[in-house]
Structure 1
Amino acid sequence: MPRWMRGAALTSLAFVLLVLGAALRPLVLPETHTATPILNSVEIGFVQDMTAHHQQALIMVQRLDRNIDPVVVRLADQLDDTQRLEIGTMLGWLRLANASPVPTHPMAWMHTDDAVPHQHSAAVAMPDKKGPDTIMPGMATMAELDALAAAHGRDAEVLFLQLMFRHHQGGIAMAQAADELLPSGPVKETARSMIQAQGQETGVMGMLLTQLGAAPLP
C-alpha cells in the first residue's frame, strides 16, 4: 500500500476513534449535574412552620361561637379564607421540593447554614434557642383553644380577638425573620405580603378589642 494511502487510512481511523470515544465518554465517565434545589433550608423551614402556624389559626376560627357580633364573624371568615389560600400555596411549594409538610424542628431554619441576614432590622428578634423544643411565636395552648370553644357572646369575641392578635404578632415576627434571611424569591415575597396583610388585620383586631373594653394578651 502506498505511503500516502496508509497515512489517509490512519487519519480516518484516528477520526473514528475520536468520535467513538466522545460517544462512549458519558457511559464510561458519567457526567454529574447538581440540580439546583427548588427551596433552600431556610425557605423549607419557614414554609413548614408557617403552614403549621396558619393551621392553628383555622382551628381558632372553627372553635369560635358564631352567635356573636357579625363584624367579628366576618373578620374570622376573612382570616380563614386568606390563610387557607396561603396554606395551599405553601403546601404546593413543599410538594415540589419533595419536603415534608410537617416541621420536625420548629424555628431551626433561623440557625441553618442558609440563614444569612441580608438586611439589618432592629424589629426582628432572632430566638437563640434551637431544636425540637423551640415554640413558634404566638401559638395558643390547648387550654386556650378549649376555653375559646367553650366561650360565648362577648367572652368569645374578646378571647378570639386576643388569641388571634397574639397569633398574628407571632406570624409577623416569623415572616420578618424570613424576609431578613432570604435575598429574593417567591417565599421572600410571600413573607413580605404576610407582614403587610397581617399587620393590617392586627390593627383591626386591636381596634375591636378597644371597642370591647379589652386589651391584647401579653
Structure 2
Amino acid sequence: MSPVLDRRTRWVTGSAVALALLFAGAATVASARGDAAPPAPRTPSAESVDAGFARDMAVHHQQAVEMSFIVRDVTRDEDVRRLAYDIANTQANQRGMLLGWLDLWELPKTAPEGQGPMAWMPGAHGGHGMRDMDGTQGMDHDGALMPGMATRAELDRLRKARGKDAEILFLRLMTHHHKAGLDMAHGCAQQCAVPAERRLAAGMVAAQQSELDLMADMLAARGAPPLP
C-alpha cells in the first residue's frame, strides 16, 4: 500500500472513532448538566426532522454495519478489513445514540402512517434515485425505498464474492451508501432542532466524507472504474 493510502487509512480510522466518542461524551455531559446547554424548543414530534433523521439514519447505519461484517469474512485484505471495522464500530455506536434519543422522546422507531422514508427532508422523495448496479430500482430489506441502500441482490452478491471482487463491490456499495448518508446528515445538521443531534450529524458529514475520499483511493488502487 502506498504511504499516502497508509496515512489516510490511519487518519480516518482514528478520527472517525474519536468523533464517535466525542459526540457520545458530549451527549452524556449535556444530559447530566441539563440546564447548561440551551434546550430544544420542545420534545420532537414523530413527524419532526429530528425524529425522521433518527429513524432513517438508524436503518441506514444498520445496513452499513451489515455490509462491513460481510466483507470482513470474504477478504483477507487488511486495509479493507480495517475500514470495515471502523465503519461498523462507528456506525453501530451512532445508531445506538439515535435509537436512544427516540426512546428518550418516547417516539416510535417506525415512521407515522403515510410518511415514507426521507419524507422529513424538503424536496425528498423516498427512495428516488436509488438504483441497483444493473439499473433496476432497489429496495431496502424492509421493502421501503431509501437512497443509498444496497438491494437484497447486491447483498447476496457481496456474500458470494471473494478477494478483490468482494473488495471492489464493497467499496462501490459503501460509496453509494455514504453519499446518500451525507445528504441525510447535511439535512439534519441544517434543520434539526436538538443541538446534540445537529452536532452528531455534522460529525457524520466530516467522517463519511473522509471515508469517501479513502474509498476512492482504494478503488483506484484496485483498477476499478468510478461508480456511474
The answer to whether 1:212 aligns with 2:209 is no
Tell me which residue corresponds to 1:74.
82
Unaligned runs of 5+ in 1: 1-35, 112-125
Pairs aligned (count): 169
Stretch moving more, 181-190 or 79-88: 181-190
Tell me which residue corresponds to 1:14.
none
SS at match of 2:117: coil
SS at match of 1:108: coil
SS at match of 1:186: helix
The answer to whether 1:127 aligns with 2:124 is yes
Q: 1:92 to 1:160 in 2, by over 3 A?
A: same
How high is the sequence identity, in percent, across the aligned residues?
41
Supply the distance in 1 between the matched residues of 2:75 and 2:173 (Cα, whole angstroms).
18
The one of 154, 162, 167 equivalent to 2:164 is: 154
The answer to whether 1:39 aligns with 2:49 is no
Tell me which residue corresponds to 2:6.
none
Supply the distance in 1 between the matched residues of 2:78 and 2:103 (Cα, whole angstroms).
37
The answer to whether 1:165 aligns with 2:175 is yes
The answer to whether 1:107 aligns with 2:118 is yes
RMSD: 2.3
Q: How far is the alpha carbon of 1:150 from its aligned partner? A: 0.3
The answer to whether 1:61 aligns with 2:73 is no
Supply the distance in 2 between the matched residues of 1:129 and 1:87 (Cα, whole angstroms).
20
Q: How far is the alpha carbon of 1:214 from its aligned partner? A: 0.7
Specify the code of the residue in structure 1 equivalent to 2:86: Q
Task: Tell me the TM-score normalized by structure 1.
Answer: 0.71
Specify the code of the residue in structure 1 equivalent to 2:110: V
Q: How far is the alpha carbon of 1:134 from its aligned partner? A: 7.0
Specify the code of the residue in structure 1 equivalent to 2:51: I
Unaligned runs of 5+ in 2: 1-40, 129-142
8 A contact 2:126–2:147 mirrored in 1: no
Supply the distance in 2 between the matched residues of 1:135 and 1:172 (Cα, whole angstroms).
17
Supply the distance in 1 between the matched residues of 2:127 and 2:161 (Cα, whole angstroms).
35
Q: Which segments of structure 1 move beyond 3 Å, counting only runs of 4 or more?
A: 128-131
